[in-house]
Each structure stands twice: as structure tokens, then as C-alpha cells.
Amino acid sequence: MDAQPTEQRVEPPRAPEPERWWQLLRTALRGTHQDFTTGPIGRSLLLLAIPMVLETALESVFALVDVFFVARLGADAVATVGLTESMLVMVYTVAMGLSIGLTAVVARRIGEKDADGAARAAVQGIVLGLGVAAVVAAIGILFAPRLPALMGASAAVQTVGSGYTRVMLGGSGTVLLLFLINAIFRGSGDATIAMRSLWLANAINIVLDPCLIFGVGPFPRLGVEGARS
């Protein structure tokens, strides 16, 4: 009699183990390449949201660091920073609006696998932002002595703060570029680079603020203007 062939049992493939929260956090902070058009939507949202939340939190650190060091110069210097930051809220508003739109357009082109279209959208967004920055800079440079007075500043604050206001509003292009370039990175699916750029910018600000405000070492003593020079 012929031997009966033995049946081989084929085990079904095991489902991959669910990713732990610390593994997901490490992946988000490490910034490995991800295709967000495939895979679970919840995982993709978390990988994008974690660096974006940290980036947004770091944006407020700039003003906190400025006030921390400028407070050593007196109440008028602190009032100057507070009033100027209040005026910069309008710049932040425009920058956020442009960056949200730019992120959406770049993300759509990336999802369509249209890298050239994403690049064109990025360039157009930056050009538009620089145009807005030029208008803000012109207003800030020309009317810097009057703007604190319109905000209700005292004569002492106007004397101390006109230079700081001119520097901040005149250099608003850096604020817009920071928002727009980070928006491009987020739209392309690499939010970690945007977060790291804020880390680097904050580190530079923390190091240079006391050097330029108080004239540490070879740096000139610029006073309140050194907070963002």
C-alpha cells in the first residue's frame, strides 16, 4: 500500500504587535521617513502632531527668554518688550495664516506625488511672505518712534523702546520665513525638522541674548535692542 502523504499545517502569519507609546514618541522625535498616505490614520496623526505640538510650545519661549534677561534692565525695558510683542501678534497672525495655507497646498502636492508642484508652491509661499514682510518692515522702520506712543507707552518707554521696536518690526521677515519654511517641512511630511529648527533657534537666542544685552566678552552692550539683534 502506498503511504498516505502527511498534511503540513501552515500557520497564518502573526499580526504585528501594536506599537508602544514610547516607541511612537521615539519615532516622532527621531523623524524617520514615513509615508503618511498608507497605514493607520491615528498613527500618522500622532507622528505629525507630537513634533508640531512641541514646535508650537517652543515658539513662545523666544519672548519668555527676552523678558527674563531684559528684566535686569528695569521696568521700562520690560514694558518695551511687552508692547512690541503685542504689535508682533499681527505679524504672527499673518504668518500663521500663510503657513496653514502653504502646509495644505504642499501636503496635497506631496500626496499626489507631484514634487515639482510642491516645490513651486513652496517658492510662491515664501515670495508672498517676503512681500508681506517688506510692507511690515517699512512701516516699522518709518514709524517706530510713534508706535509705542499709540500703544499708550510713557515717554521713558518710548525713548528706550523705539530702537527695539524698529529692530523687531524691521526684521519681521525672519519671523515669516521661520513660519513658512517650517510649514513647508510639515506639509512634506517631515514635521521633525521644523521642530528641530525651533530648538536650534531657541538655543541661539538663549546664548546670544545675555551676550548682546549686557555686552559679555567681545559682544557690544546693546541693551534692550540686543534682545533680538
State residue 13's pLDDT score.
Answer: 54
* 159-189 confidence digits (pLDDT tens): 777 788 888 888 888 888 888 988 898 888 8
Q: Which domain holds residue 173?
A: 44-60+77-227
Three-state SS letters, the chain: CCCCCCCCCCCCCCCCCCCCHHHHHHHHHHCCCCCCCCCCHHHHHHHHHHHHHHHHHHHCHHHHHHHHHHHHHCHHHHHHHHHHHHHHHHHHHHHHHHHHHHHHHHHHHHHCCCHHHHHHHHHHHHHHHHHHHHHHHHHHHHHCCCHHHHCCCCHHHHHHHHHHHHHHHHCHHHHHHHHHHHHHHHHCCCHHHHHHHHHHHHHHHHHHHHHHHHCCCCCCCCHHHHHCC
In a domain, 9, yes or no: no
The number of domains in the chain is 1
Categorize the per-residue pLDDT at 191 as very low, low, confident or very high, splitting at 50, 70 and 90. confident
Residue 202 belongs to some domain of the structure: yes
pLDDT computed for residue 34 by the predictor: 66
Q: Is the pLDDT of residue 43 over 80?
A: no
Maximum mean pLDDT: which of 12-21, 31-40, 102-111:
102-111
The band of 16, judged by pLDDT with boundaries at 50, 70 and 90, is: low
In a domain? residue 132: yes
Q: Answer yes or no: is 14 within a domain.
A: no
State pLDDT tens for residues 56-87. 777 778 778 888 888 888 888 888 888 888 88
